Structures are given as C-alpha cells and as structure tokens.
Structure 1
Amino acid sequence: MSQAESEPASTGGRAPEAVALFNVALTSELFVNACWHKQQHGVRGLSWPAAFVVLPLTLHPLTRATLPTKSTVSLAGWAVRHPDLIADMDHRVATMVTPTKRAIRHGIRAGRLRLDGTDLVATARPRNPTKVWPAELTEAVRAARICGRWFNVIEVQSAFELLGIGS
C-alpha cells in the first residue's frame, strides 16, 4: 500500500502536521481579520494578490514575532529592518498558495468572506482575542490585522517588490 493510500481520505494525502497547521477554519479566520481591518481603514477589501501574503506573514513564527504592535510602522519600514525574514518570502508565498486558496474557499462557503470583484471582503466583524485564547492564536490574529492595515497604504506591486516576491 502506498503512503497516499494509507493517509486518511479527509487529509487529501497531506501530512497530518500540515493539516493541523493549515486548518482551514483557522486560516480563513485570519483572512476575515485581515479583510475586516483593511475595510475599516480603507474603502475596499483585500485584493486577491495581496491575500497570498497574509498567511506567510502571520503563520511563520519568526516573522509573526517581529511584526509591529503599532499600526504606525509601515510594511516598507518593517521590511527594511528585517531583510533576513524576507529573504525567503518568495518561497514561503509559493508554498502557501494551496493553503491560501483552501482558506479563502472555506471562508466563502462559510459565509465569512465574499468576493467583491477582485477584492476579498469580510462579511462580519471578527471576534477579538480573549485571555483564554492561546498566545499563538492571539499573535496570529494581531498579525493578520496588521497585514490588512498595511495594504491600505501600499500598492500590492510595491509590497511584492519590498518582500522580494516574483523577482
């Protein structure tokens, strides 16, 4: 029996660790947070291309830990201070394409996200973290919210260039 045949059908042949880390309920809620905060501080939702940067910034532990706690720090300012973390961003974004698509599809099916043209929009305000939430979850939500705000003040192409994506 091959490894793919021995995997439970619900995992789609993916390693159990990847299934747990890239849980679609968790990752789609990160998108809800990013989109909601983008919408609250701007006029549109999160553009489709920008969505592919959210998970690499919010799930990578070292990157997430260095994201600013204040919204006054720009993506450009953060990127200049952390060249070591953006060195492999192109690879991380490419690796996260499938989990990103799964998360967006789940969010749309669950009614938490919708597409408005090419923008991803949160349909309702996400819950704020509470003291009972694990620290890692609280940090990921905070990071997603920072990402949403960042995309109000920077063009997607400029963000990709700063992060070394597609170069």
Structure 2
Amino acid sequence: MSENRHFTKPWRDRPLEEAAHFNPAFCGELIARTLNGYSKLSPTSLPFALTFLVLPLALHPGTRRALPRKANTAFASWAGENADILSTVPERVLRLRPVSREALLFLSQLGAIRVDKDGVSTGERPMSINAKPPVSTDEVDEIRRTAGLLGRWFAHQSQSGAVLETTGAVLQTMGIRV
C-alpha cells in the first residue's frame, strides 16, 4: 500500500496539512482523550484494538458527524442506521494504522499510557487534556470532543457484556477482522 509507505517518510518531507492532522502529538492527544473518557466509566483497560478506531472515526468529517451525540447510544442500533458510513471504516483503519501506532508509541514513551495484556491504561505521567489550547479551530475542537465521546461510548458498550466479546462485536460490525 503506497499510503502506508507515505507515512514512513520523515516529517520534514510530509505536507504541512498532514503534519497538522497526523502528527504523533495531536493523534496521541486524541487517543489519550478516548482513554480518559473510557476510564471515567469503566474500571477495565481500554481494549488495545479499539485504539485503532479512534483516528479513523474522529478525524473523518462524515463519520465524526454521523456518530451519536450521547455515549449511551446502543452500538448495534447506530450501526444499523449508518451502514454506509461503516463500509469505509476498514479501509481507513488500515490506512491510518501507521499513524495510530506512532501515536501510541509516542504516548508510551512519554509515560502517558501503559500497554499490557489487558489493554491500554493511563501511565504514570498522563497527558493533561482538560486545558483548552489557546489557539484552536472549531473543527479541531469538534475532533477533540469526538475522541472523548468515543471513549465514553466504548465504555458503555463494554458495560453491556464481557469486554472482549463486546470489542469483537464492535470490530466485526465495523467490518474489521483481527
């Protein structure tokens, strides 16, 4: 896939827009916001596989706007109403996989997250994500809110059953095979 090779280029060789939206710090912040939202509602670690859904769902404008407004929305009913959106998610997950990995590695190196056999949890030096940056755009603010919503939404889904079964059901409904 040429898209994946593109993401291995040095940062100085990538377009400025890409550096703004796909850099490890910003993408890491989105994953940290998802983890934060998840942790508020669930005592378990965020399943590792779900971290790869954050960027494809939060960064894509059409998908972001189709997501539910409330975290307690049942995933199955939302998926049934949004099959057209879900058809594009697997390809975006594959294309953004290198970006997600880079963001996870960045967070791990900072000590902001810990990855183990149970999933992803807050590290010894969590990111401060409550402060609103002095300079931002409406779109970036919407992306940040969406990342937090995703964490709460994933946590609500895991409350309805075993975490691994629920994670598998979410991934399968989105057309993603593990």
Classify the TM-score, shorter chain.
Answer: 0.7 to 0.9
Equivalent residue for 2:167, pick from 148, 156, 160: 156
Q: Which runs of 5+ in 2 are unaligned?
A: 1-8, 159-165
d(CA) in 2 for partners of 1:41 and 1:131?
29
Q: What's the counterpart of residue 69 of structure 1? A: 69
Q: Which runs of 5+ in 1 are unaligned?
A: 1-8
Equivalent residue for 1:137, pick from 132, 137, 140: 140
Q: What's the counterpart of residue 94 of structure 1? A: 94
Alpha-carbon offset, residue 51 of structure 1: 0.9
Q: Cα 1:17–1:34, aligned 2, differ >3 Å: closer, same or farther? A: same
Q: Percent identity?
A: 27
1:67-96 Cα deviation digits (max 9, x unpaired): 222222132222211111111111111111
Q: What's the counterpart of residue 56 of structure 1? A: 56
Query: Pairwise mapping of residues 4-153 of structure 1 onto structure 2 (< 5 A)?
Result: 10-11=10-11, 14-123=14-123, 124=126, 126-127=129-130, 129=132, 133-152=136-155, 153=157
TM-score (norm 1): 0.83
Q: What's the counterpart of residue 163 of structure 2? A: none
Alpha-carbon offset, residue 22 of structure 1: 0.4
Alpha-carbon offset, residue 21 of structure 1: 2.0
TM-score (norm 2): 0.78
Aligned-residue CA RMSD (Å): 2.3
Q: Which runs of 4+ in 1 moved over 4 A?
A: 12-16, 128-132
Q: Cα 1:118–1:79, aligned 2, differ >3 Å: closer, same or farther? A: same
